[in-house]
């Protein structure tokens, strides 16, 4: 219906820009239609085939003929079946029409603008009506909204299908083309690279070299094969097509300026066209789109409805460039779209025809054989196969069924996160020097289960970049709360995989606010993979750090030094002094565990409790403030004086928070990350030196936390005592020999959510002086008194 509505706006039907609106209004009164779905039912039955094998007799009415052709084109999938009225049969009336406040409607008529608040929850027909009121075309938002409307919430969750905003699609399209065309200059944004090449660089060369440079550029983009393996509404493919058209315009302009003829040729419908003569064609952009859609743009989706929407979207994108004033009728059957229904994760890529038949015979799930469906991209027995660019927003989560997992288990490293499977599949589908650009699950950074996926990435590409975004204030999707990452894998190199060589992988910090995507800073992460400690290799189970800043890298370097400088091999990490994580769901469970602990001959005083999840703060206490699945008991396994005070101060500190923001999912206090935290060199000596201060401050810290406890909501308003948390970091800075400016960085980490540094310079200076004098036993009582007064 969207396609038909769009054609109406192009004056395709009786040259009436409100053809369907007028038709609906007439039918609504004469046939007593109360809802748009009733109108759609009759409308679809009259213009779309009602039989899956046979088209109805076409009316003499030219409009009817066009509608039948379009209906057949869009409702037939690659398996040859037609969907009869696929939308209105499965959606309630409310999905199409609802009354709109007349006052609001008048405002829209006057302002010619649809408010964002209305758009977000608007049914389909209301959207069309309002588009008519504001006089705008059916745009990408409407297509995306249609995709959202035809998928139920359950379907979205089970398939991971969500509509991706324009700016994200454009960014991934630009960055993938930048990596493919200007890989030596990736720090410069894509369009600046284009301007520099076509306007500055070319002017430096003589004509012959100009010709070679332009021709090389032309051949590159002319031979691109681009895939979205979970195509959804086709948004990413529409974005990259838009950018490719601009690139052709650059070449087009250069060919005219430098009088280059006879070499910049494209073939469209068996007709060879010289870019230099493009101005002769009224439909030049449509010709380019037809060329791209038939030879460069590919998409696959397991959801047949998504495939239909994607085809509609690209078709509308195509006809948007046609000059409908000409008498030539546009037959959509002449447009070849490589958008197919299938399971991207299962099927042959470059196996022989015999192998393909064998897999098809043995598998219970219908595979998508790439070398069969796209033989131009995967010629059998060829070494130069695959896509140049693979981009999109494939689903994430534990979405694969048990039967699917059983079928694909031999081919992938981790099946409980489908985003990992898509990344590994994309690597296999990428040709040499290829690019991957995905919006994906942020598990690609923090999850140890994806270690082998990351290993395959660094084994396969020259360089990779990952940017991560927190769900709270960097929400990419209006209807999904999910932290995400953008991953770019650049220049596939099969030699690295064969030799098991590791290339560079760069990361950002985990953004709390949406940054300018085109000016993101990345930092090399290879040296800071976290296993049992910092510095393990990609072929070991690890977590990837989210760094992004020079100071964050220095933070990790300073902590890493304690692994190597520590002379006591039995006191290297927190895991050497902590034991057992016991969840305490209720008070009875707590009492039972205390009794069990005492039976083992251990002291209850050696237990602390921690909150194992926290978005902005992490906390630890001497005793649990409440009970539940988020509270755990932790045993201190070493009998070292002052150790308990040190641990309580550490877990409540910003220092500890920074550590977890770099390595965790930003929420859970994973025990392996906790245990890998390095202990200070000469920790035992330092605990002796600062024992009295640690004891005094730990007691004060516990009292302050309880004063900030909100019993009703079972939470601690730790932000109210940020000045006290700052003292934790001053003390830890002394224990870990951190420079003052690093302590300052830690105290000010993520000020938008933690409030920044709150302690005054005067108080901070006094505490530093007390710490410096703590080794003087003669004045220890006075030091403690002074410390109490400060607190």
Q: What mean pLDDT is predicted for residues 693-703?
A: 93
Q: Which of 274, 272, 273, 275 is nearest to 252 (CA)?
A: 275
At 48-68, the pLDDT tens digits run 444 333 333 333 333 333 333
pLDDT grade for 432, boundaries at 50, 70 and 90: very high
Distance, in Å, from the CA atom of 773 to the CA atom of 767, rounded to the nearest integer, reads: 10
Domain parsing of the chain, residue ranges: 2-138, 566-790
Q: Which of 596, 598, 683 is nearest to 645 (CA)?
A: 683
**pLDDT at residue 158, as a whole number:** 44
Of residues 151 and 701, the one with the higher pLDDT is 701
Is 581 within 8 Å of 589 (Cβ atoms)?
no
Of residues 337 and 35, the one with the higher pLDDT is 337
Q: Which of 56-65, 367-376, 409-418, 505-514 shows the lowest per-residue confidence on average (mean pLDDT)?
A: 56-65
Distance, in Å, from the CA atom of 402 to the CA atom of 393, rounded to the nearest integer, reads: 23
DSSP-derived 3-state class of residue 287:
helix
At 21-40, the pLDDT tens digits run 566 666 565 656 555 455 55
DSSP-derived 3-state class of residue 723:
helix
Q: Which of 316, 425, 420 is nearest to 367 (CA)?
A: 425
Q: Which two tokens stand for residue 400?
A: 């694969």
> Cα 620 to the chain's mean position, in Å?
32
Distance, in Å, from the CA atom of 526 to the CA atom of 524, rounded to the nearest integer, reads: 6
Q: Write down the mean pLDDT value for the chain.
A: 80
Distance, in Å, from the CA atom of 337 to the CA atom of 317, rounded to the nearest integer, reads: 12
Is 562 within 8 Å of 523 (Cβ atoms)?
no
Q: What is the largest CA-CA distance in the chain?
A: 108
Distance, in Å, from the CA atom of 647 to the CA atom of 653, rounded to the nearest integer, reads: 10
At 249-304, the pLDDT tens digits run 898 888 888 887 777 777 776 677 777 666 666 677 888 888 899 999 999 999 88
**pLDDT at residue 19, as a whole number:** 63
Of residues 458 and 160, the one with the higher pLDDT is 458
Flag whether pLDDT at 489 surpasses 60: yes
DSSP-derived 3-state class of residue 31:
coil
Helical H segments across 600-682, by residue range: 643-651, 654-663, 671-675
Q: Which of 461, 373, 435 is nearest to 226 (CA)?
A: 435
Instruction: Say if strands 461-469 and 387-392 run parallel, antiparallel, or are unpaired.
Output: unpaired
- Proportion of the chain above pLDDT 90, given as a percent: 43
**pLDDT at residue 115, as a whole number:** 64
DSSP-derived 3-state class of residue 681:
coil
Flag whether pLDDT at 155 surpasses 70: no
Report residue 440: phi and psi, to 5°: -140, 180
Distance, in Å, from the CA atom of 635 to the CA atom of 772, rounded to the nearest integer, reads: 31
Is 41 within 8 Å of 1 (Cβ atoms)?
no
Distance, in Å, from the CA atom of 195 to the CA atom of 451, rounded to the nearest integer, reads: 39
**pLDDT at residue 153, as a whole number:** 47
Distance, in Å, from the CA atom of 261 to the CA atom of 219, rounded to the nearest integer, reads: 15
Flag whether pLDDT at 664 surpasses 90: yes
**pLDDT at residue 361, as a whole number:** 58
pLDDT grade for 560, boundaries at 50, 70 and 90: very high
Q: Which two tokens stand for residue 321?
A: 């460039």
At 494-531, the pLDDT tens digits run 665 566 678 999 999 999 888 999 999 999 999 999 99
Q: Burial code of 405-414, b = ≥16 C-beta within 10 A, e = fewer?
A: eebbeeebeb
pTM surpassing 0.75? yes
Q: Which of 170-179, 264-273, 548-557, 586-595 shows the lowest per-residue confidence on average (mean pLDDT)?
A: 264-273
Of residues 345 and 715, the one with the higher pLDDT is 345
Q: Residues 724, 573, 445, CA angle at the centre, nearest 5°?
A: 85
């Amino acid at each position: 219906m969207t396609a038909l509505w769009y054609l109406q706006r192009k004056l395709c039907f009786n040259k009436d820009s409100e053809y369907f609106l007028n038709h609906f209004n007439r039918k609504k009164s004469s046939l007593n239609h109360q809802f748009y779905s009733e109108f759609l039912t009759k409308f679809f039955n009259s213009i779309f085939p009602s039989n899956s094998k046979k088209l109805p007799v076409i009316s003499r009415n030219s409009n009817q003929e066009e509608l039948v052709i379009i209906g057949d084109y869009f409702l037939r999938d690659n398996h040859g079946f037609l969907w009869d009225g696929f939308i209105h049969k499965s959606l309630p009336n409310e999905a199409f029409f609802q009354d709109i406040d007349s006052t609001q409607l008048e405002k829209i008529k006057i302002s010619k603008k649809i408010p964002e608040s209305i758009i977000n929850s608007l049914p389909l027909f209301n959207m069309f009506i309002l588009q008519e009121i504001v006089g705008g075309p059916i745009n990408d938002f409407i297509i995306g909204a249609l995709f959202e409307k035809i998928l139920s919430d359950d379907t979205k969750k089970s398939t991971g299908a969500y509509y991706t905003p324009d700016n994200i699609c454009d960014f991934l399209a630009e960055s993938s083309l930048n990596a493919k065309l200007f890989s030596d200059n990736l720090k410069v944004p894509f369009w600046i690279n284009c301007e520099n090449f076509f306007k500055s660089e070319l002017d430096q060369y003589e004509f012959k070299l100009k010709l070679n440079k332009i021709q090389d550029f032309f051949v590159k983009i002319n031979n691109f094969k681009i895939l979205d393996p979970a195509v959804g509404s086709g948004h990413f493919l529409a974005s990259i097509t838009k950018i490719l058209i601009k690139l052709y315009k650059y070449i087009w302009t250069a060919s005219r300026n430098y009088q280059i003829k006879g070499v910049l040729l494209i073939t469209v419908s068996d007709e060879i066209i010289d870019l230099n003569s493009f101005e002769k064609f009224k439909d030049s952009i449509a010709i380019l789109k037809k060329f791209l859609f038939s030879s460069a743009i590919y998409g696959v989706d397991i959801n047949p409805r998504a495939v239909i929407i994607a085809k509609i979207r690209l078709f509308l994108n195509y006809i948007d460039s046609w000059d409908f004033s000409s008498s030539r009728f546009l037959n959509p059957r002449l447009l070849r779209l490589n958008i197919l229904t299938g399971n991207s994760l299962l099927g042959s890529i470059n196996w022989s025809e015999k192998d393909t038949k064998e897999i098809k015979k043995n598998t219970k799930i219908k595979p998508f054989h790439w070398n069969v469906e796209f033989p131009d991209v995967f010629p059998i027995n060829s070494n130069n196969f695959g896509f140049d660019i693979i981009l999109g927003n494939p689903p994430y989560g534990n979405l694969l069924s048990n039967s699917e997992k059983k079928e694909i288990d031999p081919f992938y490293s981790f099946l409980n996160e489908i985003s990992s499977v898509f990344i590994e599949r994309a690597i296999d589908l990428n040709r040499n020097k290829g690019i991957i650009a995905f919006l994906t699950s942020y598990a690609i950074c923090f999850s140890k289960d994806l270690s082998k996926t990351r290993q395959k990435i660094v084994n396969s590409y020259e360089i990779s970049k990952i940017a991560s975004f927190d769900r709270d204030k960097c929400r990419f999707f209006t209807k999904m709360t999910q932290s995400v990452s953008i991953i770019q894998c650049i220049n596939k190199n099969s030699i690295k995989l064969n030799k098991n060589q590791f290339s560079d992988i760069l990361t950002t910090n985990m953004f709390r606010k949406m940054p300018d995507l085109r000016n993101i800073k990345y930092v090399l992460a290879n040296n800071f993979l976290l296993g049992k400690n910092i510095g393990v290799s990609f072929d070991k189970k690890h977590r990837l750090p989210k760094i992004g800043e020079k100071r964050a890298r220095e933070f990790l370097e300073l902590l890493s030094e304690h692994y190597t400088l520590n002379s006591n091999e039995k006191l290297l990490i927190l895991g050497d002094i902590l034991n057992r994580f016991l969840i305490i769901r209720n008070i009875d469970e707590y009492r039972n565990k205390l009794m069990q602990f005492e039976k083992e001959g251990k002291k209850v005083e050696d237990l602390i409790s921690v909150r194992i999840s926290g978005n902005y703060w992490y906390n630890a206490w001497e005793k649990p403030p409440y009970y539940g699945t988020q509270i755990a008991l932790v045993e201190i396994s070493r009998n070292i004086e002052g150790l308990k005070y040190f641990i309580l101060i550490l877990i409540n500190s910003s220092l500890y928070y920074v550590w977890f923001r770099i390595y965790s999912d930003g929420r859970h206090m994973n025990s392996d990350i906790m245990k890998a935290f390095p202990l200070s060199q000469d920790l035992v000596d330092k605990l002796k030196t600062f024992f009295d201060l640690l004891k005094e401050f730990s007691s004060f810290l516990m009292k302050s936390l309880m004063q900030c406890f909100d019993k009703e909501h079972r939470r601690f308003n730790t932000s109210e005592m940020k000045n006290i948390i700052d003292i934790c970091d001053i003390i830890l800075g002394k224990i870990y020999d951190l420079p003052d400016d690093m302590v300052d960085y830690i105290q000010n980490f993520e000020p938008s959510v933690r409030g920044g540094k709150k302690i005054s310079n005067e108080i901070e200076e006094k505490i530093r002086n007390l710490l410096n004098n703590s080794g003087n036993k003669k004045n220890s009582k006075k030091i403690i008194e002074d410390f109490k007064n400060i607190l």
